[in-house]
Copies of this chain bind each other. A is one copy, B any other.
């Protein structure tokens, strides 16, 4: 029935599941290999047959996810900043694919982005996003700097943090929003200012300045 590889795979799945389970009560740092093996009813020695240590486990799990993110960014990013998507009120394919990926790994993302998770998770994905966005910007606007009074580094970090914040809000929440709804929220996050989102005098601070009084 079960091959040797399937047997190993099942053990590793148990280990990963136990990691996420332990993560409900403890920080990643507080979780011990002993915790994981206790929860997964696996011998502690067995753990070390599969992973070098706890860090190795976490690295493999997160790298697996990050690779999928990179794949999406590298293959789908070309369509971003295409105005047609706005006129159709459709999210960029990149965005849609990323959201779908998150949906497929919601528990993992919730844990890793959460207080108990891996502090490296957010920065790693953030950096991937940042690179992809920068490439597209250069393609659209040329190599020069593209600031409206705001240093590039700030502007780009704000975009990535906007995307990450929406995703985090989504996985943290009750999950009532569909994938497409979340993708559309991200799209709005690109062309709406915070005050516009809140319905606060959308034009009071337009770029031309306002000398009403």
Which A positions have Cβ atoms within 8 angstroms of B? 27-30, 81, 83-84, 86-89, 115-117, 119-120, 123, 137, 140-141, 146-151, 153-159, 161-162, 164-166, 168-169, 173, 177, 185, 187-202, 204-207, 209-213
Contact B194 A190 (CB under 8 A): yes
- Report the minimum CB–CB distance from A134 to chain B (whole Å): 11
- Report the minimum CB–CB distance from A169 to chain B (whole Å): 5
Interface centre among A29, A137, A194, A205 (most CB of B within 10 A): A194
- Report the minimum CB–CB distance from A64 to chain B (whole Å): 20
Contact A197 B148 (CB under 8 A): yes
A27-B119, A115-B123 known; A169 vs B193 contact (CB < 8 Å): no
State the CA gap A211–B140 with chains docked (Å): 22
State the CA gap A88–B28 with chains docked (Å): 47
State the CA gap A28–B190 with chains docked (Å): 35
A selection of 7 A-B contacts at a CB cut-off of 8 Å is A87-B213, A146-B200, A148-B196, A155-B198, A158-B162, A162-B162, A191-B193
- Report the minimum CB–CB distance from A4 to chain B (whole Å): 36
State the CA gap A201–B207 with chains docked (Å): 12
Contact A155 B197 (CB under 8 A): yes
- Neighbouring B residues of A169 by C-beta, 8 Å: 153-154, 157
Contact B197 A158 (CB under 8 A): yes
